Chain A
Amino acid sequence: MKNIIELNERNFEQEVLKANGTVVVDFYAPWCGPCKMLAPLLDKLAGECAGRARFVKLNVDEAPHLAMRYEITGVPTVMLFRGGLILDTFVGLPNPRALKARLDELADAGTPAAVPTH
């Protein structure tokens, strides 16, 4: 997946919470069928959104503390972060068009104050 960077528990804060702009985080597990279906869709979306949002992924099996912190109860879970805060959470396979529409909306809105959902 050329457009999506793999993160871990050590660099999550730097790459997501302290990052500028919108970051799309794919919480996934390597054994999860729906996660495998989502991966190419997200990669395509990442290409389309280049310059407007960064796409990263995190293997929950190797990041149990983050999975607990963000209350990940199922995978895939896609979270949109900005300014260290969660803008949106999609549990299960998200509709790529809905995700794209939300990212377009965020890009058009500039950098609004994010609303924490937790």
Chain B
Amino acid sequence: MKTACELPLTNATPDEIRQLLATSRTVAVIGLSDKPERDSFRVARYLKEHGFRIIPVNPNLAEVLGDRAYASLPDVPGPVDIVDIFRKPDAVPGIVEDAIAIGAKAVWMQEGLAHNAAADRARAAGLQVVMSKCIMKEHRNAFGG
């Protein structure tokens, strides 16, 4: 049983987050569910409605929100700006390695999710890292909508 939740030791600043969102178009949503009541679904739908291209990544689904789902990040064709993670902390290091390998611009861990060691690894590889923040809330805060 998990007895504690890790907190981010450092995080992207509001300005950095705003800049990242303003210059990104493609978001791979790792662990995206096809259930409308799930946070991942609501966040991905919001992103689509606000001009982002989303790429569902979930080995158990063929399609979400009308977009083809891929089993893992390395299967995704074409460039990815943000890798948005809706998974448990122990899945994060592997996803970060994949994000580095495909040349993603940023790794984004959703609200409640932080992995400082993986974040250090991503930053060292030149990726931006946002931890324990909801990309939908941050987009709303930065741009309204």
Contact = CB atoms under 8 A, between A and B. Distances in A.
Nearest to B6: A74
A33 B2 CA distance: 8
B9 interface: yes
A76 B5 CA distance: 7
B4 A92 contact: yes
B7 A72 contact: yes
A76 B3 CA distance: 8
Interface residues of A, number: 18
- The secondary-structure label for the interface of chain B is loop
B111 interface: yes
B97 to A, nearest CB: 23
Contact of B111 (A31, A35, A67, A76): A31
B112 interface: yes
Contacts of B116: 73
A60 B7 contact: yes
Contact of B4 (A60, A61, A75): A75
**A interface, over-half SS:** mixed
Nearest to A68: B9
Nearest to A64: B11
Contacts of A60: 7
Contact of A74 (B7, B111, B112): B7
Interface string A67-82: 1000011111100000
B3 A73 contact: no
Contacts of A92: 3-4
Contacts of A33: 2, 5
A40 B6 CA distance: 21
8 residue pairs, one from A and one from B, having the closest CB atoms: A92-B4, A31-B112, A92-B3, A93-B3, A74-B4, A32-B5, A75-B5, A34-B3
